[in-house]
Amino acid sequence: MTSQEERVLTRDCVATVVPSGEAVTIPAGATVSITHRLGGHYTVLWAMGMARIVGENADALGEDVQESAADGPPGAGPGPADDHCGPPDETAIWDGLKSVYDPEIPVNIVDLGLVYSMDVKESENGGGYEVEVQMTLTAPGCGMGPAIASDAESRVTQVPGVREARVELVWDPPWHQEMISEEGKMQLGLI
């Protein structure tokens, strides 16, 4: 979305301050402007600055809570509790990661070049598979790192056959704009 929409919160709403990553409660009756709808979540501006409201709280904005916001990327299966045999579909894992966004940048973390590696291995505890992801952030001091990593873990665990996902934030090599995919650069108007 490119234009901002003003909304009045219908109830108190827990949000995450961008970029510090601190939790905050935006009170009912507060006016917010939705600046982005990314990966089922909302980036808003309000009197105290910028915040991210997760999709499960969309009702406070007068929006419908989307199933994909609570359950992972569209088309994702029931996750580790299913009877899926064999390794998870790596394309589905990448699609899950592509549904995760930095709330300040309208490009997913894969196309931003933030995901350095994704490894699938059989669970040592038997049954299912573990996925390990190494990713970085656009700036090492970004307080949103834990929220973005948690979102990535949640989306990956929705893929059938994945028992557990671990996302590690790494800083080597340092991220730079040349790591953005061609599609990401087009979305950002860099080419």
Query: Residue 18: what pLDDT?
Result: 92
Query: Residue 80: what pLDDT?
Result: 45
* Closest listed residue to residue 163, CA positions, set 129, 124, 119: 129
* Closest listed residue to residue 12, CA positions, set 61, 51, 49, 46: 61
79-188 homologous superfamily: Fe-S cluster assembly (FSCA) (3.30.300.130)
Stretch(es) of the chain classified as CATH 2.30.30.40: 5-70
Tokens of 80: 């580790």
* Closest listed residue to residue 156, CA positions, set 95, 107, 112, 110: 95
- Judge contact between 136 and 116, C-beta under 8 A: yes
pLDDT per residue as tens digits for the range 18-74: 988 999 999 999 999 999 898 899 999 999 999 999 999 999 999 988 754 444 444
* pTM for this model (two decimals): 0.79
Query: Residue 77: what pLDDT?
Result: 44
Query: Residue 7: what pLDDT?
Result: 96
For residue 128, pLDDT over 50 is answered with yes
Stretch(es) of the chain classified as CATH 3.30.300.130: 79-188
The domain defined by 5-70 carries CATH number 3.90.1150.10: no
Average pLDDT over residues 146-153: 94
